[in-house]
Chain A
Amino acid sequence: MIRFESVSKRFLDGDVERTVLRRYSFEVSDGTTVSLVGPSGSGKTTVLNLIAGLDVADSGDVLVELNGVTLSLKGMSSAARARYRRQSIGYIFQFFNLIPTLTVAENVRLPLELTGRRDLEAEALSRLDALGLAGREDSFPEQLSGGEQQRVAIARALAHRPAIILADEPTGNLDAENAGRVVDLLCEQAAAAGATLVLATHSEFVAGHAHQRLDLQR
């Protein structure tokens, strides 16, 4: 379960303070797929970053319940949030999702190494087959197409069995055919893993894949 309790977040844009989120509240149940929809600058990425603990709310709190324990992200130290992210979050970005100097297989194995879950290696690598990347394990990211890179990112985000998967415009950089394939695979794999998937998008097509829709305004 993810719960935003009256969360506000401001940023400095030059010398001007800009409020991105004002007393924003919502709740998402475990194992559901949620889409965050809104125009650019409406705070979609901010919501993802707050869930991931990359940002901290200026007021209000973000609560995440994992294995029956509720975590208050605002009250956690930076190190504790890093540990939480490492164990429980899988993040997929629009661009630059992979480490350029690691191969496909190494990119997928990286979160397992960080969490110490080497026992999941076979499962994680086998997911590459399901994602249509068989035979590309030893390729470097620059040798893959955009769609392939994004599929590797999905495999990497799911590798350590995180409870929450955050995807920031995962199809924003892909053509329609690839976008459809990637979002289908993402939703399918997240559901198979029982993870909560939060998708930030301004594509109605992608948003249509979600169980729950949250609209954000500028």
Chain B
Amino acid sequence: MSLLLRAVLRQLVAERWTTVSVVVGITLAVLSIVAVHLLAEAVKSQLDRSSPGSALGLSHMLHRGALHENDYFELRARWRVGSLASVEALVPILEGRVTARRDAKALPRRLPIRVVGLDPLALPGASRSAIPSLDGDRSWLTGSAGWISAGSDLVVGESLELPNIDGPVVIIAEVEIRSTFDDPVLLVDIGTAQRILDRPGELTRIGVLRRIEERAWMRVAERLFPGLGARRYVTDAPWKVSGYQVEVLQDNGQRLFSGAVLFNLSALSLLSVVVAGFLIHQSAVNSIRQRERVFDRLRALGIDERRLVLQVVFEGLIVALIGSVFGLVLGWWIAGWLGQLALGETASSLLDGAEGTAIAWAAGKALVFGPLVGCGSMWVAYRSVFGGVRKRRDGLLVGCLMMLGGGVSFSATGVAGAFLAIAAAALAAALLVGPALVFWAQAPRGMATLVGLLNRRNLAHRSADVRVALGGLVIALATAIGMSLMVSNFRVAFEAMLDQRLSADAYVESRVGFTEAELAELRSIVGPDSTIRVERREDGWMRAAGAGRLGASFIYDAGDVDALRRYGFPGPLPAGGILLNEPGARRHGITPGDLVEVSGSHGTLELTVVDIFRDYGASSPRVVVAPETGAALFGTTAPRAVAIAGLDSEHSTALYRFAERNEWRTRSDADVRSLALAVFDRTFRLSDALVMLAVAVAVVGLFNALVAVRLRRAHEFRLLHSMGFSVGEFLRLNLWHAGMLGVHAVLVALPLGLGIGWLLCGVLNPRAFGWSIPFSVSAEALLVPAALGLAGALLAGALPGLRTIIRGDYLDA
């Protein structure tokens, strides 16, 4: 073994406490990256399984008013002559709802199902192989077999009696397919579907598989930073087919929402890496400073700078590799726990089923990020100690301010711009924390004891030994404060929205719609003191001036002022007026007073947006229209839901019994509200856990820095010990120093955290999710992270302090 290598290894052993704490820091950082990566893969695979059309391998749907098989054949002809660029498959689809009769023993006997007919042979090859029994069982061609959507009450082998066809349809397999409705989906041959639905020659839409032009580097970037491509789910389809409306299947809120959450989590996991970089840098600077004479001797022996840098970088590599391996193993283990927090019970099964590629990527990221940060931090530390890095603080500060201003001012920079603004603010604070500490410690004060003076001067005198670690702690605490502010404000706004919308006592849904007789019976059951609000919802389209056409959900139960109040609108809707949700408005740049074109199955209208309402959780447009407007757009449809308010327990029991007999689904708005809040809290618990990891890394960094300070103050401590300083006084001295650093970190982190909170609420959320969060400051959001930072700093100070006392290091001077 070369002597230099031996020197490196012995150095790591000699400074074992520093080595161990750096390994712990790297482990925590890599752990968070690995855990987020695995969770991202789990979420993505869940989305891939549930995305409409994904099981069929389709990327777009083509719609037009009335669609016939001949249109499909005409489109195929156009495709064959090459006029449909990048299209790989065209699939005719017919969809409708019928009531199926089941076996005598099965309950319920009558079940509404959605029948989806398609030509399986037109599907892309990969999709055909994903449908079980497609190639092995040809009975579906005879119209006697079909597939059922996974998770429904129906089972494989069950026979269904369906209208308009002779003989039963036997379910031959389950298929992963998502429907926007709760009804089971029965997949059959298109001819069979046309007979069942009694719509010969008709189609509902044409499915398309269009090759997505995604560059290889984008796929790699998405793997490296999950959620990076979230915004592609909000881009309107640029692809046009003459005579058809194009629907992009990936354009769904779930993907956007998950992508944005993953982006958020990825950023938080990178936060740990950044803080770990601060930790290593600080430890390296302290270690190199202690060895300055050793380096001088090595130079005197004729060893060149390059070799010395390599030696230092090699030290970083060894420590980082050890930390990365630990982080990888622990990350895999902890991903399950974090998954439980965020996704509930499904997490463990999703992780168990993680693909080899996902695991390989996680390992790759661990073994790249950790060593990269380790080697990079050591290199920068060496250069900064031996003067290779010029002081660029002022330039960096100006750069940070420009990034902050640019990221906030130019909305075109999107989510990345918002994150850059946050990063710039954090970096600026980290750069200023050292000079601020010196300024603060040297500020003139009244009479102080000499020990107090000694402590205060040491804060300034030793600031170079702690400022990087302190910067890491400031960033971690400020992120904790910012996230805490964002979550608390978001929760208040979310709760207010739930209170507005979920004001009923019970909610009853019918899959096939309520008849007038059923509504009358419902009214008699709930009693005269209860009020019933009928809800009508249909899917249609909307188009703003200069923008493409987008699918939109229409709500037209808003016939009275009370109903409109649920959307925060104070009065009745003016004629020709609509309410639009915030995500829809943002996507089209619509403001109140703008005209939009909306269309339904019965017609198209041009209406004015009179107000925009908050709609957390939605990413696509939702439109509230007056009942008569709804009728003009969709005709007379049976209402599928009613909300009942003022229900007492006696009538409530009668209502639930009645609903059960009619196979209606009932739910309590109070339950929905608490469920929604539980999901909300669960989701953000994951962010909390990641922020806590970053704070833990920062505390480890501060611990390291304080160990170095103890070593440098060993002579001073020896002197104080000889002057009769007791164990308790030493502990107080250490705690005072650490506590003051903690207070300083908190004082710098508070304004930075407020800024980050504002950026998250007012800039990042509107850009990433399409919704804004009103910003206000709550004491709890500030005090909890502040207390955490102070406690962490005291802990970081107490441990090396105790060690100094127990081991009597001050005697070694």
Tell me whether A and B are bound partners: yes
On whether the beta carbons of A54 and B453 are closer than 8 Å, the reply is: no
How would residues 458 to 480 of chain B score, 1 for a CB under 8 Å from any chain A CB and 0 otherwise?
10010000000000000000000
> Which of the segments B302-310, B581-589, B713-721 contacts the partner chain?
B713-721
Known pairs A100-B461, A102-B453; A110 contacts B727 (CB<8 A): no
Which partner residue on chain B sits nearest A140 by CB separation? B457
Instruction: Check A89/B726 contact, CB under 8 A, given A96-B715, A100-B461, A110-B450.
Output: no
Check A87 against B449 for contact (C-beta < 8 Å): no
Inter-subunit contact A82/B716 (CB<8 Å): no
> Does A86 sit within 8 A of B, measured CB to CB?
yes
Could you say which residues of chain A place their CB within 8 Å of the CB of B458? 101
A93 to B726, CA, bound (A): 19
Asked if B439 is at the interface of the complex by the 8 Å CB criterion, the answer is no
Establish whether residues B719 and A97, one from each chain, have CB atoms under 8 Å apart when the complex forms. yes
Interface residues of A in 38-68 (CB under 8 A from B): 49, 52, 54
Q: Say yes or no: is B813 at the interface (Cβ < 8 Å to chain A).
A: yes
Residues of A within 8 A of B720 (CB): 99
Are A111 and B718 interface neighbours, CB within 8 A? no
Q: Separation in Å of the A161 CB from the closest CB of chain B?
A: 14
- Assuming the A-B contacts A101-B457, A106-B450, are A114 and B811 also in contact, with contact meaning beta carbons closer than 8 angstroms in the complex? no
Flag whether B725 is at the interface (Cβ < 8 A). Answer: yes
Interface size class of A (residues with CB under 8 A): 20 to 34
Known: A95-B715, A101-B458. A85 touches B722 (CB 8 A): yes
The answer, yes or no, to whether B301 is at the interface (CB within 8 Å) is no
The closest CB in chain B to the CB of A99 belongs to B716
Q: What's the least CB distance linking A170 to chain B, in Å? A: 13
Complex: chain B residue closest to A80, CB-CB: B726
Q: B14 at the A/B interface (Cβ < 8 Å)? A: no
Task: Check if B388 is an interface residue, CB within 8 A of chain A.
Answer: no
Which residue of B is nearest A55, CB measured? B811
Q: How far is the CA of A102 from the CA of B461 in the complex (A)?
A: 11
In-complex Cβ contact of A109 among B450, B715, B725 (8 A):
B450
Closest to B459 in A: A101
Whether A78 is near chain B, meaning CB under 8 Å from some CB there, is yes
| Chain B nearest CB, measured from A133 CB (Å) | 18
Is there contact, CB below 8 Å, between B721 and A54? yes
A29 to B720, CA, bound (A): 27
Q: Which of A52, A78, A84 contacts B727 (CB 8 A)?
A: A78
B454 interface residue, CB < 8 Å from A? yes
- Shortest Cβ distance from A120 into chain B, in angstroms? 14
- 0 or 1 for each of B156-192: is its CB under 8 Å from A? (1 = yes): 0000000000000000000000000000000000000
Q: Which residue of B lies closest to A84 (CB)?
A: B724
The interface residues of chain A lying within 8 Å CB-to-CB of B457 are 101-102
Check A99 against B719 for contact (C-beta < 8 Å). yes
Determine whether the beta carbon of A101 is less than 8 Å from that of B722: no
Which residues of chain B from 725 to 752 have a CB within 8 Å of any chain A CB? 725-729
Whether B724 lies near A79 (C-beta < 8 A) is no
Residues in B whose Cβ lies below 8 Å from that of A54: 721-722, 811
**Is A91's CB within 8 Å of the partner chain B?**
yes
Question: What are the residues of chain A within 8 A of B461 when measuring CB–CB?
Answer: 100-101
Smallest CB separation, B289 vs chain A (Å)? 16
Tell me if B85 counts as interface (CB < 8 A to partner A).
no
The answer to whether B722 and A113 touch across the interface, beta carbons within 8 angstroms, is no
Q: Decide if A83 is an interface residue (CB 8 Å cutoff).
A: yes
Which of the residues B715, B723, B729 comes within 8 Å of A110, measured between beta carbons? B723
Q: What is the CB-to-nearest-CB distance from A114 to chain B, in angstroms, rounded to a whole number?
A: 6
CB neighbours of A113 from chain B (8 A): 449-451
Please name the residue on chain A nearest to B722 by beta carbon. A91
The residue of chain B having its C-beta at the shortest distance from the C-beta of A98 within the complex is B719
Q: Cβ of A99 and Cβ of B722 under 8 Å apart?
A: no
Given contacts A96-B813, A101-B461, contact A83 B453 (CB under 8 A): no
List B contacts of A52 (CB < 8 A). Answer: 722
Please tell me if the beta carbons of A87 and B724 are within 8 angstroms of each other in the complex. yes
Smallest distance from the beta carbon of A162 to chain B beta carbons, Å?
10
* Complexed CA–CA distance, A21 and B378 (Å): 45
Contacts of B813 in A (CB 8 A): 95-96
For A49, the chain B residues whose CB sits under 8 A away are: 811
Residues of chain B with a CB closer than 8 A to A96's CB: 715-716, 718-719, 813
CB distance from B808 to the nearest CB of A (A): 9
Interchain CA distance A60-B497 in the complex, whole Å: 80
Q: Which residue of B lies closest to A79 (CB)?
A: B726
Query: A95 vs B715: C-alpha distance in the bound complex, in angstroms?
Result: 9
Minimum Cβ distance to chain B for residue A59 (Å): 20
Closest chain-A Cβ to B462's Cβ sits at a distance in Å of 9
- Residue-by-residue, is A107-126 near B (CB-CB < 8 Å gives 1, otherwise 0)? 00111011100000000000
The answer on a CB contact under 8 Å between A85 and B723 is yes
- Which of B453, B723, B727 sits near A114, CB closer than 8 Å? B723
- Indicate which residue in B450, B718, B725, B729 contacts A102 across the interface (CB closer than 8 Å): B450
A100 x B716 contact (CB < 8 A): yes
| Shortest distance from the beta carbon of A144 to any chain B beta carbon, whole Å | 16
Distance between Cα atoms of A115 and B461 in the complex (Å): 26
Is B454 in contact with A86, judged by CB distance below 8 angstroms? no
Q: A93 contacts which of B449, B719, B725 (Cβ < 8 Å)?
A: B719
For the complex, what is the distance from the CA of A54 to the CA of B454, rounded to whole Å? 23
Chain A residues whose CB sits within 8 angstroms of the CB of B728 once the complex forms: 79
Q: Which of A78, A91, A98, A111 contacts B726 (CB 8 A)?
A: A78
Question: What's the Cα separation between A87 and B719 when bound, in Å?
Answer: 15
**Residues of chain A contacted by B454 (CB below 8 angstroms):** 99, 101-102, 110
Provide the bound-state CA to CA distance between A13 and B222, in Å: 56
* Contacting residues, chain B, for A87 (C-beta < 8 A): 724
Which residues of B are found within 8 Å of A115, using beta-carbon distances? Answer: 724
A109 to chain B, nearest CB (A): 6
Q: Mark B363-379, 1 if CB is under 8 A from A, else 0.
A: 00000000000000000
Complex Cα distance A96/B726, Å?
A: 20
A106 to B721, CA, bound (A): 17
Question: Could you say which of A78, A89, A97, A102 has the most chain B C-beta atoms within 10 Å of its C-beta?
Answer: A102
Chain B hits for A78, CB < 8 A: 726-727
Known interface pairs A79-B727, A82-B725, A114-B723. Does A93 touch B450 (Cβ–Cβ under 8 Å)? no
Shortest B722–chain A CB gap in Å is 4
- B805 — nearest CB in chain A belongs to which residue? A78
- Tell me whether A82 and B450 are in contact (CB under 8 A): no
Inter-chain CA distance A91–B453, complex, in Å, is 22
Q: In whole angstroms, what is the CA distance A188 to B722 when docked? A: 22
User: Which B residues between 492 and 547 are near A, CB-CB below 8 angstroms?
Assistant: none
**Nearest A residue to B728 by beta-carbon distance?**
A79
A205-217 Cβ-contact flags toward B at 8 Å (1 or 0)? 0000000000000
Question: Which residues of chain A come closer than 8 Å to B451, judged between CB atoms?
Answer: 110, 113-114
CA distance A82 to B726 in the complex (A): 5
Q: Which A residues touch B723, using CB under 8 A?
A: 85-86, 89, 91, 110-111, 114
Residues of A within 8 A of B449 (CB): 113
Say how far B33's CB is from chain A's closest CB, in angstroms: 40
Rounded to whole angstroms, the CA-CA distance of A3 and B92 in the bound complex is 107
Q: Which residues of A contact B726 (CB under 8 A)?
A: 78-79, 82-83
Q: How many Å from the CB of B805 to the closest CB on chain A?
A: 10
Which A residues are in CB contact (< 8 Å) with B716?
Answer: 96, 99-100
Q: In whole angstroms, how far apart are the Cα atoms of A36 and B722 in the complex? A: 19
Q: How far is the CA of A162 from the CA of B413 in the complex (A)?
A: 71
A78 to B723, CA, bound (A): 13
User: CA–CA, A26 to B391, complex, Å?
Assistant: 60
Of B457, B718, B723, B813, chain A has the most CB atoms within 10 Å of the CB of B723
Docked CA distance A93–B715 (Å): 10
The residue in chain B whose Cβ has the minimal distance to the Cβ of A107 is: B450
Nearest CB in chain B to that of A45: its residue: B811
A-B interface, 5 closest residue pairs, ranked by CB to CB distance from nearest: A86-B724, A96-B715, A91-B722, A101-B457, A82-B726
Task: List residues of B whose CB falls within 8 A of some A CB.
Answer: 449-451, 453-454, 457-458, 461, 715-716, 718-729, 811, 813
5 pairs from A and B in contact (CB 8 Å cutoff) = A85-B721, A95-B715, A100-B461, A101-B461, A113-B449
Taking A86-B725, A95-B813, A96-B719 as known contacts, 15 extra A-B pairs with beta carbons closer than 8 A to each other, sorted by chain A number, are A54-B722, A79-B728, A82-B724, A82-B727, A84-B724, A87-B724, A96-B715, A96-B716, A96-B718, A99-B716, A100-B716, A101-B454, A102-B453, A102-B454, A114-B724
